[in-house]
Amino acid sequence: MIRDPDTLAAFLDSVRRFVKERLVPAENTVADTDEIPEDIVADMKAMGLFGLTIPESYGGLGLTMEEEALVMFEMGRTSPAFRSLFGTTVGIGSQGILIDGTPAQKDKYLPLLASGELIASFALTEPEAGSDAASLRTNARRASDEHGEHYIVNGTKRFITNAPHAGLFTLMARTDLNNKGAGGVSAFIVERGTPGITIGKPDRKMGQRGAHTADVIFENCRVPAANLIGGKEGLGFKTAMKVLEKGRIHIAAICVGVAERMLEDALAYAMERKQFGQPIAEFQLVQAMLAESKMEVYAARCMVVDAARRRDAGENVATEASCCKLFASEMCGRVADRAVQIFGGSGYVADHGIERFYRDVRLFRIYEGTSQIQQLVIARNMIREATR
């Protein structure tokens, strides 16, 4: 936690300048090459971005959820591929260890994650288990031999962000084969070098070039029993849901930042572009698109800050986190669509970057729970509350 408001303001200012001066100018190159330049990654590490939410005692910045959201508002103002590299570690990759890890697991891994030495992936989705994540089939069978207690892991994980770069996977696998539901799942820390792991070819995606996903295949992969998160079997799905609850506020904050950037670009274009002898910003139908977007971005920003503050205060924000993810990601899609419309033909061709954002933000409605899954979570929680 950054207790002093001036220090927080200075940090946010440094992130804002980093985005403006280093990341925005590199957006096109990253999209063209599908790679984030090494010097930018080094700068991200030096700024402490990989350790945003890891406590100071482990070498991180120990930001609260609200502070993390404020940073993500700034980071959203450029290609979301930059965020994906460190934000996956911060948002979901490291959180299983942080929330439910044993003291020994925290001591061993959190400092390496905070410095960016290790990049973490979160491996839940499988070819046959997407929205229905609790039906996952990857299995971990406990065994023991002269080398000690361990688990033998077999299965395939799909669409795993940062898999080609990850040094560590937070892996959800079934330890109780007789329990086909959530209670049979455990969470593990799996180091990349462990024999029996193969990373598939990076997926060819619609957007967010520079951020990479791939299958992760486990074949008789031997994971030390000491890497069972929390040291207990059967708690892995709960850990994953706690991680995603926090991740949903993080993603919603990014949606706000990207929407603000697209709106700023659309406003500048509308004020400059002339048709019928006047700037298109003078036309009320264009103004309606700007105003609708401004209203929605503002609403999403307020929601994110409120949910983050409540989580920091120790409230259960499962419903609010899903509300934020649902509203902010759908809002971001609508703002992207209006921004393309305001740019007209220039919004459809690559020159202004708006079509790139339009493709990039489509993902926000899909990962960390689709919009339909957020709706189910919200309604189920409402019904549960009402029947208490």
Ligand X SMILES: Cc1cc2nc3c(=O)[nH]c(=O)nc-3n(C[C@H](O)[C@H](O)[C@H](O)COP(=O)(O)OP(=O)(O)OC[C@H]3O[C@@H](n4cnc5c(N)ncnc54)[C@H](O)[C@@H]3O)c2cc1C
Q: Which of these segments, 32-40, 298-306, 353-361, 367-375, binds ligand X (CB under 6 A)? A: 367-375
Beta-bridge mates of residue 121 = 169
Report the distance separating Cα 178 and Cα 198, nearest Å: 27
With tokens 């006047």, the residue in question is 278
Q: Does 239 bind ligand X (CB under 6 A)?
A: no
Q: Which of these segments, 120-128, 264-272, 350-358, 377-385, binds ligand X (CB under 6 A)? A: 120-128
Instruction: Read off φ and ψ for residue 137, nearest 5 degrees.
Output: -110, -15
Torsion over CA of 162, 163, 167 and 168, rounded to 10 degrees?
Answer: 100
Considering CB under 6 A, how many residues would be counted as binding ligand X? 21
Q: Does 160 bind ligand X (CB under 6 A)?
A: yes
Q: Which of these segments, 9-17, 122-130, 143-151, 184-192, binds ligand X (CB under 6 A)? A: 122-130
Q: Does 81 bind ligand X (CB under 6 A)?
A: no
Q: Does 161 bind ligand X (CB under 6 A)?
A: yes
Instruction: Read off φ and ψ for residue 334, nearest 5 degrees.
Output: -65, -40
Nearer to ligand X, 160 or 228 (CB): 160
Nearer to ligand X, 67 or 368 (CB): 368
Q: Does 120 bind ligand X (CB under 6 A)?
A: no
With tokens 């005692």, the residue in question is 57
Nearer to ligand X, 308 or 363 (CB): 363
Nearer to ligand X, 59 or 184 (CB): 184
CB atoms within 10 A of CB 223: 23
Report the distance separating Cα 231 and Cα 367, nearest Å: 28
Q: Does 125 bind ligand X (CB under 6 A)?
A: yes
Give the DSSP letter string of 326-370.
HHHHHHHHHHHHHHHHHHTHHHHSGGGSHHHHHHHGGGGGTSSS-
Nearer to ligand X, 70 or 187 (CB): 187
List the one residue from 50, 58, 82, 159 that touches ligand X (CB under 6 A).
159
List the one residue from 122, 169, 188, 327 that touches ligand X (CB under 6 A).
122
Q: Are 59 and 125 in contact (CB under 8 A)?
A: no
With tokens 């572009």, the residue in question is 273
Report the distance separating Cα 138 and Cα 218, nearest Å: 8
- Enumerate the active-site residues: 368
Where in 297-356 is the site for ligand X (CB under 6 A)?
A: none
Which residue in the shown chain puts its C-beta closest to ligand X? 130
Contacts of 4 (CB under 8 A, 6+ apart): none
List the one residue from 205, 238, 273, 310 that touches ligand X (CB under 6 A).
205
Where in 240-299 is the site for ligand X (CB under 6 A)?
A: none
Q: Which residues bind ligand X (CB under 6 A)?
A: 121-125, 130-131, 159-161, 205, 213, 363, 366-370, 372-373, 376
